[in-house]
Structure 1
Amino acid sequence: MTTDTNLARDIYLRSHLVGEFHLRSGVVANEYFDKYLFESDPVLLKRLAEAMAPFVPKEGVDALAGLETGGIPLAVMLSQVTGIPTLFVRKEAKKYGTCRLAEGGDISGKNLFIVEDVVTSGGAVRDAVVELRERGAKVSQGVCVIDRESDGIQNLHALEVHMRTLFTMSQLKAAGA
């Protein structure tokens, strides 16, 4: 995790919403971080990528794998900061055209580093990792901006994916208070 409280505060101020929100995991939450609000801000997006860059290994990563949809802008900006190529990972392979799960290059035999915005249960990352591995990719690490502290990071460890996180929900809420 990072200790940049200014970045945490800015994410909170830009994207924290209160209401009733249905999450992908099936959970209903009374607060939500709208990732598209912080990902659509070019200055904040670059700051996020710069904060994520130290979590990317200096060697052994062939490509960043940005998960559809929220992980893609993060991965693109992180690619700009690190110089590592980016792949765009779909939720499911296209049924037309190239019929690929990941766009932007070959994945077979490649060491991929997952880039995601928010992890709750870890389900989206898990699904992507399983599909990428079935297609010959090697996936064991990644980074996300927000850990909702709902066991997602631990669930990914069980899949032998070490997912680092910039901030927990608790950290963001504390920074925004």
Structure 2
Amino acid sequence: MTYSKQQLARQIAEAATLRGEFLLRSGQTSERYFDKYRFEGIPSLLKPMARAMAELVPPETEILAGLELGGIPLVTAISLEMGLPAAFVRKQAKTYGTCRAIEGQDVTDRRITFIEDVITTGGAVKDAFHLAVAEQANVLAVVCAIWRGDGKPQIQGVSQLPVHAVFTKEDLEDGR
């Protein structure tokens, strides 16, 4: 199915918006929560979201790097859409097997773009950035499905990293 951006925002909001009291990873509380797994698990929403995110990936990107856990279905779908290899970024290096934090691809001296689901302050992206730099990757940007933070999208502590969002929380709240 093909959606306009407004239609996709409406469909994502209907599928993923929960109301109540929620503690966010950032430590903030919110009465509205965007449960990304509710749209990432629906092919008719995941596919157009992957297309929309693919349009925001810098053209010089060599590897797409999805952040654990919500970025993994997105990076896989975008990889299929663009034909670029995908890497998978753990929250920390595992203590067995390869003992790596970034799996699937060698990111050393490669231009990578992070793929993330929902960002409020970017704490997980900041952590992933430091892991990628430790592996000598050149991180170009982060592309996210939803920017739920206030103001212009940016990662606290890594303000030089460009953030490209398909939707803001206002887009989903307004059904734009």
Shorter-chain TM-score category?
over 0.9
Which residue of 2 is the match for residue 12 of structure 1? 13
Which residue does 1:54 correspond to in 2?
55
Counterparts of 2:55 and 2:145 in 1: how far apart (Å)?
A: 13
Tell me the CA shift for residue 155 of structure 1.
Answer: 3.2
**1:61: Cα distance to partner?**
1.3
Alpha-carbon deviation of 1:149? Answer: 2.3
Moved over 6 A (4+): none
Is contact 1:156–1:162 with CA below 8 Å preserved after alignment?
no
More helix by share: 1
Identity score, percent: 44
Report if the CA contact (8 A) 1:140-1:160 is conserved: no
Aligned-pair RMSD on alpha carbons? Answer: 1.6
Aligned to 2:67: 67
Cα deviation for residue 110 of structure 1 reads 1.0
Alignment-derived partner of residue 162 in structure 1: 162
Kept in 2: contact 1:49–1:74 (CA 8 A): yes
Aligned residue pairs total 173
Give TM-score scaled by structure 2 length.
0.93
1:97 aligns with 2:97: yes
Q: Partner of 1:34 in structure 2?
A: 35
The offset of 1:142, in angstroms, is 1.8
Quote the Cα distance in structure 1 between the aligned partners of 2:113 and 2:152.
Answer: 17
What residue ranges of structure 2 are gaps of 5+ in the alignment?
Answer: none
Aligned positions of 1:104-123 closer than 5 A: 104-123=104-123
**Alignment TM-score, normalising by the size of structure 1:** 0.92
Cα pair distance change 1:152/1:27, threshold 3 Å:
farther
Kindly provide the CA deviation profile for residues 83-118 of structure 1, in whole angstroms up to 9, marking residues without a partner as x. 000001000000111001111011111111110000
* TM-aligned CA deviation for residue 151 of structure 1: 5.5
State the alpha-carbon separation in 1 of the partners of residues 48 and 142 from structure 2. Answer: 18
Between the aligned partners of 2:79 and 2:172, the Cα distance in structure 1 is: 25
- Tell me, what secondary structure is at the counterpart of 2:153? helix
